[in-house]
Amino acid sequence: MIRAVLFDMDGTLLPLDIDEFFVRYTALLSKRFTDIAPPREFIGHLMSSTAKMMANDDPSRTLMQAFWDDFLPSVGRDLDSMLARLMEFYTTEFGTLGQHYGFHPDARRAVEAAVGQGYEVVLATNPLFPKIAIEERMKWARIYDLPWKMVTTYEDMHYCKPNPRYYTEILEIIRRTPEECVMVGNDTRDDLVVRSLGMPAFLVEGFHVLREDGFEPTWRGSLSDVASLIERGFSS
């Protein structure tokens, strides 16, 4: 019996191309740190440390710790000063990126349908960002105010997609088995890797990413199809 629905955000509930978003995001962020390094060099350090963070497989280190442990030596700054500047960026400038992206009404419909069916809902977004940045993008998608059981952030999580341990960590926290959950996402590897755990999954088309090392979905279709399936209690 299904007890919880896990939703990816970027490219799923929030209609955007994640690669294009990262270009806009890193360009805007790098302008805030030109005293540390030229934009291209700063972005290089940022992406290198992000890659190290994504590869983290140490259960004793959060993603936040993994990122800063690698990034700070490359820019020669201390954590407190960098966090202060980063928080200022997220509270003043990050939100302006939202003007480039719309929202999909069936995103809210799908999550509300899950809540209405009595399912727990988890925002299983790849936790590459701090909580403040994830919550801002939730507002763009108009899903921020919904009763989320859990939202994955880099402060709290220890693994990234497509590491299956990212999903097992979620399951441990919400105390559910793979068979009690459904994953809804747009990436056949990052999101559908849950199939290797025995969890059913819905591939949302539109901004979907098909990969050679991806997995086959249990269902596929539009966000409207997701909402309809949930409203039927996952019965065909």
Query: Per-residue pLDDT tens for 73-107?
Result: 999 999 999 999 999 999 999 999 999 999 999 99
Domain boundaries, the chain: 4-16+102-231, 19-98
Q: Which pLDDT belongs to residue 236? A: 66
Q: How confident is the model at residue 181 (pLDDT cuts 50, 70, 90)?
A: very high
Give the DSSP H or E segment for 26: helix 18-30
What's the whole-number mean pLDDT along residues 21-25? 96
Looking at this protein, which amino acid is placed at residue 162? Answer: P
The CB density around residue 82, as the number of other CB atoms within 10 Å, is 16
Nearest-angstrom CA–CA distance, 83 and 88? 9
What's the whole-number mean pLDDT along residues 173-195? 98
pTM of the model: 0.96
- Classify domain 4-16+102-231 at the CATH class level: alpha beta
- Counts for the chain of helices (H) and strands (E), in that order: 8, 6
Confidence check: pLDDT of 186 > 90: yes
Q: What is the mean pLDDT of the chain?
A: 96
Q: Which pLDDT belongs to residue 235? A: 84
Phi–psi pair at 137, nearest 5 degrees:
-70, -30
